[in-house]
Amino acid sequence: MVQDTRTEEPALPVGHRFSILITDDDRGSRETLAGLLTDRGFATVQASSGEEAIEIVQVEIIHLVFFDMHMPRMTGLEALQQVRMINDLLPAILVTADATRDLIRQAFQAQVFSVIPKPVNKNIVLHTLSRALQQVYKDKPNDQPPPQP
């Protein structure tokens, strides 16, 4: 579920069509986040598991990945470890209802850009996404794939 607050939305990179992968076993969470991002001009791809996310990253140009932490068979951090073998520079944001200090420490050790607690706040999602994209893709053309190692 995405919470709405009535504050000004952050400026997102202009002139780019970034592809965002949303990985969550909860269909409603995936679709809500995808709707928020699609409404702002992002191309979204959805995965219902870590395994599916890994397959997508292998065959599609993805600019950023959202991972839910708690999914069956493979956690978001476990999936991220596998994705890092494909592209170790791909920015990732972890979304979790269980944002403990230990989990946040593990996430940052895994080089997650940020951890967002559930239920997510749309302005936090957009601000965090904007910061991650600007940091990694400052002056890159629209069609350039994510940086490779």
pLDDT digits (tens, 9 = 90+) for 30-68: 999 999 999 998 999 999 999 999 999 999 999 999 999
Task: List the structure tokens of 125.
Answer: 């999602």
Please report, for residues 1, 6, 49, 106, 138, the alpha-carbon distance to residue 75 in angstroms, rounded to integers and kept in the order given: 20, 32, 9, 12, 30
Q: How far apart are CA 81 and CA 51, in angstroms?
A: 11
Q: Which domains does the chain have, with CATH numbers?
A: 18-136 (3.40.50.2300)
Using one digit for the tens of pLDDT, what is the confidence trace for 74-120? 999 999 999 999 999 999 999 999 989 999 999 999 999 999 999 99
